[in-house]
């Protein structure tokens, strides 16, 4: 049956990229860090770019899509995303080499790639369109839900089916309120098309716990309005108040790759 592997190569506004794979091959979710670093971080675990079967792009913001074009054109890695996100990427002038070719996928329609079923589901965010993904591999479900203003029914449904979850914990509500951001930006971040706070994520997990979830990775932490300890503590405390102790809970570092998790 084989193991499932997960690695975070970077998480946050400086660049997002995650790896999910097997012993032989894998996928990237987002391409927000340079191809040089992507290659280097994967190589540490003897994973080569040739083993990457595709890059799934959540949305066309630069911190998620900047290097998709290079990985696509220079290394021949296929891109999988929706039409809207793809055209959004082509319009985004901050991307290095916009991608020229894409396998279009559709929200709420499963894609079958080798041993994986991958379901893109829509989330609420201020990009051309934004997707979360559930990667299903031999009855294991791994969901990534990043950059979302609130947890809609699609995301809630996928989270309820998941064994492993990467979920946004972008900001601490007080730090955002008292922090350096101008008022319109504060409103954007906390709006329904913005980002999830530690508190929202913590409350959702505590109130919808069904015992299936084993690993929780907190992602896309803000450098200005959050810190890893606070994100962890907020979620941990909310769960503990309900007598829930997850098997594994950890924030993902913004700039440093995680270890390679064997799931």
By the criterion CB under 5 A, which residues form the site for Zn ion? 61, 63, 147
Minimum CB separation from Zn ion for residue 132, in Å? Answer: 12
For Zn ion, give the closer residue by CB, 129 or 147: 147
Q: What is the rounded distance in angstroms from the CA atom of residue 194 to the CA atom of residue 224?
A: 15
Minimum CB separation from Zn ion for residue 89, in Å? Answer: 13
For Zn ion, give the closer residue by CB, 4 or 123: 123
Residue 135, exposed/middle/buried by CB under 10 A (0-12, 13-18, 19+)?
Answer: buried
Minimum CB separation from Zn ion for residue 240, in Å? Answer: 29
Spatial contact of 94 and 123, defined as CB atoms under 8 Å apart:
no
Q: What is the rounded distance in angstroms from the CA atom of residue 128 to the CA atom of residue 76?
A: 25
Spatial contact of 58 and 30, defined as CB atoms under 8 Å apart:
yes
For Zn ion, give the closer residue by CB, 61 or 254: 61
Minimum CB separation from Zn ion for residue 100, in Å? Answer: 23
For Zn ion, give the closer residue by CB, 19 or 137: 19
For Zn ion, give the closer residue by CB, 4 or 189: 189
Looking up tokens 């947890």 gives 151
Return the structure tokens found at 213.
């979830």
Minimum CB separation from Zn ion for residue 222, in Å? Answer: 10
């Amino acid at each position: 049956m084989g193991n499932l592997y997960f690695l975070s190569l970077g998480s946050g506004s400086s660049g997002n990229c995650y790896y999910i794979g097997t012993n032989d091959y894998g996928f990237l979710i987002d391409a927000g860090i340079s191809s040089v670093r992507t290659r280097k971080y994967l190589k540490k675990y003897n994973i080569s770019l040739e083993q990457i079967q595709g890059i799934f792009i959540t949305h066309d913001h630069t911190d998620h899509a900047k290097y998709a074009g290079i990985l696509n054109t220079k290394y021949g890695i296929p891109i999988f995303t929706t039409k809207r996100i793809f055209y959004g990427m082509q319009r985004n002038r901050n991307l290095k080499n916009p991608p020229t070719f894409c396998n279009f996928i559709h929200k709420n329609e499963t894609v079958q790639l080798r041993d994986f079923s991958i379901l893109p589901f829509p989330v609420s965010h201020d990009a051309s369109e934004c997707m979360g993904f559930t990667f299903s591999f031999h009855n294991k479900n791994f969901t990534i839900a990043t950059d979302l203003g609130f947890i809609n029914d699609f995301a809630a449904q996928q989270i309820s089916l998941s064994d492993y979850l990467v979920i946004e914990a972008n900001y601490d509500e007080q730090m955002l309120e008292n922090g350096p951001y101008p008022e319109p930006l504060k409103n954007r971040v906390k709006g329904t098309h913005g980002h999830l706070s530690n508190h929202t994520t913590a409350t959702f997990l505590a109130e919808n716990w069904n015992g299936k979830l084993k690993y929780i990775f907190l992602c896309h932490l803000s450098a200005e309005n959050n810190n890893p300890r606070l994100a962890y503590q907020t979620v941990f405390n909310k769960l503990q108040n309900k007598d829930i102790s997850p098997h594994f809970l950890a924030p993902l570092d913004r700039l440093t790759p995680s270890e390679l998790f064997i799931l």
